[in-house]
Amino acid sequence: MESALIPIAVFLLVYIALTMELVNKAVAAMLGVMILIALRVVSEHRAVEFIDFETIMLLLGMMSIVAILRKSGFFSIITVKIAEGTKGSPLKILILFSIITATMSAFLDNVTTVLIIIPIIIELTAGMGLDPKLFVISQAVISNIGGTATLIGDPPNIIIGSKAGLTFNQFMLNLSLPVIVGMAATLVFIWATNREKFRPIDTNLAKLFSVQLLLEKIRYNFLDTRIDKIFLAKALICLAVAILLFVTQTITKLSPGVVAMLVAMVLFVITRIEVEEMLVEIEWSTLLFFTGLFILVGVLEDKGIIEWIANNIFMRIGDNPYLLVLTVLWVSGIVSGFLDNIPFTITMIPIVRLMLESTPIPNNILWWALALGACLGGNLTMIGASANIVSVGTAKKMGQEITFLEFARKSVVIALITLAIASGYLMLYLWISL
């Protein structure tokens, strides 16, 4: 265990740097890796073996597809159409935008989704004299809930899918129900606690008039790019092909990472897009962050530290499967609310694997507990998920400052409600499976 002291210390320092945002997260992770290599704790060749290229390929592929889709103007068309469809009704704004946010988050990524949705929802609600903060918080939490439903929706799921060998369809089949119920409960909670703000406006002629003008302003601001229909068609067909290949993964035997990269490369060729221009849109720091974390956790695993944590912390709770599932769900949920859920998930994967070796739990329920906990727990606080941070940052740029407490006042209850729903679902699922 002596040789484990250095990797433990480095890992903890990286975690502290990440949590306190002392340096860029990619730099923190890669610096940790470089220290381990320099101190000869691990060789560079061994370090590379720890990287999960399946996850990196999936992330890179999806980022490329999303970047091209953004350029096509597709997202602007969708959001403006949704804004028009609401006709200024506050309740319709909440429901329709939540549906589109959840769907986009499930099939694309949360950060892109909120980057597109938040400016338009602020423009719409602020222009109507409503409270934009409520809508910003609602869309941030909904994006995290929606992203939980699929393998590609949220980074923890991408990692779990790749490391545990779970397919796109397995994620959809097992997580859609708690996600849909959780989302419905979230919307009911937001509506019930803010009923005054959701009163219909169809008896107020002046407000209806303002909404019509506002929608025109939104069309002007968000739809002024000339849409290249052929480009858009190519991008949409490729997205559809990617989703089809994800769904038929068991038949084609193509992993999600290969599918995403393949489709992204085909898109680059058929759209003849300036590759350099698109590469700027890729979040290289996120990819580097993932790479570094895979190596750091790989070293911990290699040195037997993960096994020690599993045996001495998680295995101590006994072999009651109900208790194990609830522990993984709630520990993941609470920790993800305060720490970045990506390093946490990467750390938890070998632990869950060891737990499954000692107490087999059917139907991958322990993996679903980890996925639900890591994704839904991100809603506990403003810093719990990237989508929350990006939403609050975008709102601030548009003059709507949301404090940590303002966010928490809504999000904590929502996170607890969704985690409670997830608990009920997993308990029922386990009871049926045993």
Partner 1 sequence: MKSEDKQILCSLIRDHEDAVGSSRVTMLAINAFIESIRQVRCRVENIRDLYSELSLAIKDTEPKVIPLIHLIEEFEQEMNASTAETTDGIKDDAIRILQEKHRKIKTKVGKVIEHGLTCIAEGDVIIVHTLSFDVTNMLKLASEVLQKAFKVIVLKQDLSKTRRLVKSLSASGIDMEIIPEYSLGHHIEQGNKLFMGALSISEDMRVITASGSANVVSLCHLNSLPIYLFANTLKFSHRPSSQQRIHRKVEATTHGDLSFQLIKHSHDTVDLEHVDFLVTEEGIKDKGQIAAFMNGSKSGGEPSLPG
Cβ 203 to partner 1 shortest distance, Å: 5
Q: What is the rounded CA–CA span in Å between residue 342 and residue 423? A: 21
Cβ 231 to partner 1 shortest distance, Å: 16
Q: Which residue among 3, 43, 193, 212 contacts partner 1 (CB under 8 A)?
A: 212
224 binding partner 1? (CB under 8 A): yes
Considering beta carbons, is residue 217 or 409 the nearer one to partner 1? 217
203 binding partner 1? (CB under 8 A): yes
Q: Which residue among 129, 251, 253, 269 contacts partner 1 (CB under 8 A)?
A: 129
Q: What is the rounded CA–CA span in Å between residue 77 and residue 85? A: 12
Residue 88, amino acid: G
Q: What is the rounded CA–CA span in Å between residue 329 and residue 134? A: 27
196 binding partner 1? (CB under 8 A): no
DSSP letter for each residue of 184-236: HHHHHHHHHHTGGGG---TT-HHHHHHHHHHHHHHHHHHS-SPP-HHHHHHHH
Q: What is the rounded CA–CA span in Å between residue 228 and residue 245? A: 26
Looking at residue 189, the DSSP 8-state letter turns out to be: H
Interface positions, 109-128, toward partner 1 (CB under 8 A)? 127-128
Please report which residue ranges of 284-364 form alpha helices under DSSP H. 284-302, 305-309, 321-338, 341-358
CB 62 within 8 A of CB 56: no
Residue 40: partners with Cβ closer than 8 Å, 6 or more residues away: none
Residue carrying the six token digits 């002046």: 206
Considering beta carbons, is residue 192 or 205 the nearer one to partner 1? 205
Considering beta carbons, is residue 77 or 416 the nearer one to partner 1? 77
Residue 203: partners with Cβ closer than 8 Å, 6 or more residues away: none
396 binding partner 1? (CB under 8 A): no
Q: Which residue among 10, 94, 211, 296 contacts partner 1 (CB under 8 A)?
A: 211
227 binding partner 1? (CB under 8 A): no
226 binding partner 1? (CB under 8 A): yes
Q: What is the rounded CA–CA span in Å between residue 363 and residue 322? A: 14
- Percent helix, strand, coil in the chain, to 5, is 80, 0, 20
Residue 374 structure tokens: 């890591």
Q: Which of 406, 223, 298, 216 is nearest to 47 (CA)?
A: 298
The interface region with partner 1, picked from 210-218, 319-327, 365-373, 421-429 by CB under 8 A, is 210-218
Cβ 215 to partner 1 shortest distance, Å: 9
Q: Which residue among 29, 30, 120, 214 contacts partner 1 (CB under 8 A)?
A: 214
Cβ 88 to partner 1 shortest distance, Å: 9
> What mask, x for binding partner 1 by CB under 8 A, covers residues 76 to 95?
-----------x--------
213 binding partner 1? (CB under 8 A): yes
The interface region with partner 1, picked from 32-40, 156-164, 214-222, 372-380 by CB under 8 A, is 214-222
Cβ 221 to partner 1 shortest distance, Å: 8
Q: Which residue among 12, 188, 208, 236 contacts partner 1 (CB under 8 A)?
A: 208
C-alpha pair distances (Å), 328 with each of 168, 169, 353, 408: 22, 22, 12, 23
Residues near partner 1, by CB under 8 A: 87, 127-129, 202-214, 216-217, 220, 224, 226
